[in-house]
Amino acid sequence: MKEKKSFILYLDNAKQVNMLTDEQAGKFIKAVYKFAETGEETEFDDIALNIVYSFIADNIKRDTAKYQETCMRRAENGKKGGRPPKAEKANGFSENQNKAKKADNDIDNENENEIENDIVTAIPL
């Protein structure tokens, strides 16, 4: 299975992360990246960091499990040969034919000119 190249940080947790000092936030973000990449959890001496980190780590675990499940399901479906071809109708045409081309929107200027000329010549001066 190919490796994930990303993870999601949810805005729902922004309030808790914003309560951290800049120093704590730096340690926190480095630990989050480490966890997302390797799965290795970090234990902090600071209880506030441990609490915020645990929320984010749980989200990443959940999202990673969902991603792996989706990959496995898609792989299984791919082994089945993909989507079956669409059935043809009784008249021999398939259901998903290309749409008909649109009508030509060009206005014939010749007809308009003839009508205008006829009107002008029909009015006596």
Runs of H (alpha helix) within 39-124: 47-79, 109-122
Residue 84 lies in a domain: no
Helix (H/G/I), strand (E/B), else coil: 88: strand
In a domain, 47, yes or no: yes
Cβ neighbors of 68 (< 8 A, separation 6 or more) are 1
In a domain, 85, yes or no: no
State the total domains in the chain.
1
Report whether pLDDT(95) > 70. Answer: no
Residue 107: inside a domain: no
User: Which has more confidence, 105 or 116?
Assistant: 105
* In a domain? residue 54: yes
Distance CA 3, CA 48 (A): 31
Own/partner contacts of 28-36, CB < 8 Å, gap of 24 or more, are 28/52, 28/53, 28/56, 32/56, 32/57, 32/60, 35/60, 36/4, 36/7, 36/60
Task: Please indicate, yes or no, if residue 23 is contained in any of the structural domains.
Answer: yes
pLDDT of residue 1: 44
pLDDT attached to residue 80: 82
Q: What pTM, to 2 d.p., does this model score?
A: 0.57
42 in any annotated domain? yes
Structural contact between residues 35 and 41, judged by C-beta atoms closer than 8 angstroms: yes
Residue 82 has pLDDT above 70, yes or no: no
The domain of 72 spans 11-79
Q: Examine residue 91 and state whether it is found in any structural domain, yes or no.
A: no
pLDDT tens-digit readout, 24-77: 999 999 999 999 999 999 999 999 999 999 989 999 999 989 988 998 998 888
